[in-house]
Amino acid sequence: MRVLILGGDGYLGWATAMYFSNKGHEVAVVDNFTRRLMHLERGTDSLTPIKLLRERVEAWKEATGKTITPFIGDIRDWDFTSRVVRDFKPEAIVHYGEIPSAPYSMIDVHHAVHVHENNVNGTLNVLFAMHQFAPESHLIKLGTMGEYGTPNIDIEEGYIEIEYKGRKDTLPFPKQPGSFYHLTKVHDSNNIMFACRIWGLRATDLNQGVVYGIETDEVNLDDRLLTRFDYDESFGTALNRFVVQAVAGIPLTLFGKGQQTRGYLNIRDTLQCVELAMLHPADPGRMRVFNQFTETFSVLQLAQAVKEAAEKLGISVEIAHYENPRVEAEVHYYNPTLSHLPDLGLQPRYLQEQLVESMIQRVVQFKERIITHAIVPRIRWKEGDREDQVKITELEK
Amino acid sequence: MRVLILGGDGYLGWATAMYFSNKGHEVAVVDNFTRRLMHLERGTDSLTPIKLLRERVEAWKEATGKTITPFIGDIRDWDFTSRVVRDFKPEAIVHYGEIPSAPYSMIDVHHAVHVHENNVNGTLNVLFAMHQFAPESHLIKLGTMGEYGTPNIDIEEGYIEIEYKGRKDTLPFPKQPGSFYHLTKVHDSNNIMFACRIWGLRATDLNQGVVYGIETDEVNLDDRLLTRFDYDESFGTALNRFVVQAVAGIPLTLFGKGQQTRGYLNIRDTLQCVELAMLHPADPGRMRVFNQFTETFSVLQLAQAVKEAAEKLGISVEIAHYENPRVEAEVHYYNPTLSHLPDLGLQPRYLQEQLVESMIQRVVQFKERIITHAIVPRIRWKEGDREDQVKITELEK
């Protein structure tokens, strides 16, 4: 299958590109290096020393004999996006090409607007390009479980049948996202739903949980093929950051008591889920929604799992409770449905002590590269003011 | 009260500015003349010969002795928006500063993206400016009943209590808007809801129906104070367009059988509703939503009302059924709730034969100015391709 991966230089994008290429698909990646630029801005970096995209593609060719075609450009640029879709004629478009950071979107007005422009406008270009140049292709769009927030009812997969005053309808599930970043994903979902309805496009919206893990079969072939691994306050996710904190001897940062519960999955399961979506494409005309996670944990549970695994390896770990920089319910009901992906055959890899230990060992390999200044969260939801940010950035230096 | 009106040069914006100024409020208007520019692009114009904003403000001063302060600039420009909010210190911000056209947003990718940037990013700037420089002010935001679409259950005012699998929550009402323009209003609602929640802002989201009418007390003082009156396919709304078609001797354009039902209100009631919202401000911390209309009609009912009134005045009128350029259900359930505004004291002016007759007479006054080429809809939801549009525009010339 011809697969176009948007954001193919990123954490999941590069791992997905190699995974599909290895399985014999014809893979092209699109990237404009937004993530690398943002790390320069924040003074942070991937824990893993990642190669330039050009070098990655060459190393992949050397290691496997297979070709991954890079298209360098910005999906907000219609001329670029429309040409790529017209010329490559993808059968599937896996769309990771968005800025995925809640804290980054909350820095100030400029960051909030930038995340909107990048995510929402970029996706509009992709939809129009599909409509005009690849109307049969299947959009596999990475959304987030964070679109739903934490309602006091079960979270269904994208839609809910509502019975109200004696009448019934199946309607989009009401969403209460928790940051401007999460809001852009909701805006995307609404725009994609509409584009499917009016143009008969095929799309699957993957409402993904928090991804953890550093290794895939392809990453493990050669250190030049490593995918990025972020642990900073903007781009690091809970388990990944905890492991780095444990190795760096920094207390694990919990917000409040750490009872916020979310869905999680292994990076290998992300690849499996995206593949299942691709091999079973959505019908034209109605956006399909899959919740994509394998387990739910409270942040405290994850911290404890890291502490236990680290201590087995002789690393002592502290857990610190910080004032929550976000505005969110600490104690809440959380019961998301997970049935579409298991129905398609998802075989979850649950979080086990060995996995955490192996993550810790991989992180130890790159211990010298850990940058500590931006692990503890400083971006506060209630502020939203550039002045403070500039000051903080100066202080860090 | 100090009232800042965004989009104060527009149809409702200018009428609202005069209305509040007349009542003794301190009024400033913000505009960047987007609407006037778009008419230049589409080769259309207001039926009423409207004056430059500077002339309007002078004529208002002459007619009433009162001052309306104009700020000329783009709310997408943070430097401009933040200075206006900081310096004027509004107690209420009435936000009409958006591109309000479904067809315009559906022309092609560039128009879809432009409407997103203008509406969503402009509103983000307003929210951040309020948060930083006027945290006590009350945002009165014009949304649209079109955000809801036509669900098969009653449409509540912004939120709905859902009972599901034995649990309950009050959640944002699920929305299914019918154009990229309507989607931007949904994105705005979601962003405002979030800003209220995290920053404790006050906001009222007015989900307004289709506005009709050409006259208000202030407009009638002097022809230099006329507000704009659009009837073209992009900016004209159903009743206004029908009246112009009747006077111009063009058949009234119904899409399909014309059974699409929507909420409507008189421009004078828009002023009344915005005033009621302003005089009873929202509490901080949760976006309040009012449905804002006075009656529901099918498009066919409106066409028949115009036909009858016109024929009494000796004007013969045909009704023509066109293929629907939109993608929407022609026959549907429609039962929106209307209780918050009546609870605050709304006294509706229902649509009566005399009103339609008086609109027809006003339109006759400007009959020579009617531009006929862009009344019949040509922008088709299913196309979304610039090529066709450019060709159509050329043909029109």
Whether A194 contacts chain B with CB within 8 A: yes
Interchain contact, A171 vs B169, CB within 8 Å: no
Alpha carbon B267 to its chain centroid, in Å, reads 10
CA distance A19 to A14: 9
Interchain contact, A168 vs B160, CB within 8 Å: no
CA distance A14 to A228: 9
CA distance A356 to A358: 5
Cβ-based neighbours of A305, under 8 Å, separated by 6 or more: A239, A297, A351, A353, A356
Return the SS3 of A186: helix
Whether B197 contacts chain A with CB within 8 A: yes
Interchain contact, A109 vs B125, CB within 8 Å: yes
**For residue A301, what pLDDT is reported?**
97
Q: Give the residue numbers of B marked as catalytic.
A: 144, 181, 185
For the sheet containing B295-298, what is the strand order? B210-212, B261-266, B295-298
**Which residues in A lie closer than 8 A to residue B164 (C-beta atoms)?**
153-154, 160, 162
Alpha carbon A283 to its chain centroid, in Å, reads 25
Evaluate if residue A391 carries a pLDDT over 80.
no
Q: What is the pLDDT of residues A223-235, one digit of tens each?
A: 999 999 999 999 9
Look at chain A and report how many structural domains it folds into: 1
Q: Among candidates A238, A218, A151, A250, which has minimal Cα distance to A14?
A: A218
Interchain contact, A173 vs B177, CB within 8 Å: no
Mutation site, A83, A111, A113, interface B, largest B CB count within 10 A: A113
**For residue B386, what pLDDT is reported?**
52
Q: Which of A181, A212, A231, A334 is catalytic?
A: A181
Adjacent-strand bridge partners of B164 = B167
Do residues B155 and B148 lie in contact, with contact meaning Cβ atoms separated by under 8 Å?
A: yes
First to last CA, chain A: 48
**For residue B353, what pLDDT is reported?**
93
**For residue A36, what pLDDT is reported?**
98
Q: Among candidates A28, A1, A213, A164, which has minimal Cα distance to A91?
A: A1
Q: A342-349 long-range contacts, Cβ below 8 Å, gap at least 24?
A: A344/A276, A344/A277, A344/A280, A345/A276, A346/A269, A346/A272, A346/A273, A346/A276, A346/A294, A347/A272, A348/A265, A348/A266, A348/A269, A348/A294, A348/A295, A349/A266, A349/A268, A349/A269, A349/A294
CA distance A50 to B158: 47
* AA identity, residue A329: A
Q: What is the pLDDT of residues A9-47, one digit of tens each?
A: 999 999 999 999 999 999 999 999 999 999 999 999 999
Q: Which two tokens stand for residue A386?
A: 């550039």
Residue numbers of chain B with a pLDDT score lower than 50: 388, 390-397
Q: What percent of chain A has pLDDT over 90?
A: 92
* pLDDT confidence band for A387 (50 / 70 / 90): low
Domain of A351, in residue numbers: 2-396
Q: Which of A34, A81, A144, A216 is catalytic?
A: A144
DSSP 8-state secondary structure symbol assigned to residue A161: E
Q: How many CB atoms lie within 10 A of CB A44?
A: 20
The H or E element that residue A3 is part of is strand A2-6
What sign does the CA torsion over A116, A120, A125, A128 have? negative
Q: How many CB atoms lie within 10 A of CB B38?
A: 18
Which residues, numbered 220 to 259 in chain A, qualify as contacts with chain B under a Cβ-Cβ cut-off of 8 Å? none
Spell out the SS3 assignment of chain B.
CEEEEECCCCHHHHHHHHHHHHCCCEEEEEECCHHHHHHHHHCCCCCCCCCCHHHHHHHHHHHHCCCEEEEECCCCCHHHHHHHHHHHCCCEEEECCCCCCHHHHCCCHHHHHHHHHHHHHHHHHHHHHHHHHCCCCEEEEEEEHHHCCCCCCCECCCEEEEEECCEEEEEECCCCCCCHHHHHHHHHHHHHHHHHHHHCCEEEEEEECEEECCCCCCHHHCHHHCCCCCCCCCCCCHHHHHHHHHHHCCCEEEECCCCCEEEEEEHHHHHHHHHHHHHCCCCCCCCEEEEECCEEEEHHHHHHHHHHHHHHCCCCCCEEEECCCCCCCCCCCCCECCCHHHHHCCCCCCCCHHHHHHHHHHHHHCHHHCCCCCCCCCCCCCCCCHHHHHHHHHHHC
Q: Among candidates A326, A382, A268, which has minimal Cα distance to A12?
A: A268
Do residues A187 and A198 lie in contact, with contact meaning Cβ atoms separated by under 8 Å?
A: no
**Which residues in B lie closer than 8 A to residue A173 (C-beta atoms)?**
174
Q: What is the pLDDT of residues B199-251, one digit of tens each?
A: 999 999 999 999 999 999 999 999 999 999 999 999 999 899 999 999 999 99
**Which residues in B lie closer than 8 A to residue A327 (C-beta atoms)?**
197-198
Q: What is the pLDDT of residues A314-355, one digit of tens each?
A: 999 999 998 899 999 989 999 999 999 999 999 999 999 999
**Which residues in A lie closer than 8 A to residue B108 (C-beta atoms)?**
128
Name the region of A43 (left: φ>0; alpha: ψ -120 to 50; beta: rest): left
Active site residue A67: no
Q: How many CB atoms lie within 10 A of CB A201?
A: 24
Report the CATH number that the domain containing residue B274 is assigned in CATH. Answer: 3.40.50.720
Tracing tokens 């100090």 back to the chain, one arrives at B2
Q: How many CB atoms lie within 10 A of CB A348?
A: 17
Evaluate if residue A249 carries a pLDDT over 90.
yes
Please report the ipTM that was assigned to this predicted complex: 0.96
Model pTM score = 0.96
Do residues A172 and A211 lie in contact, with contact meaning Cβ atoms separated by under 8 Å?
A: no
CA distance B396 to B204: 41
Whether A51 contacts chain B with CB within 8 A: no
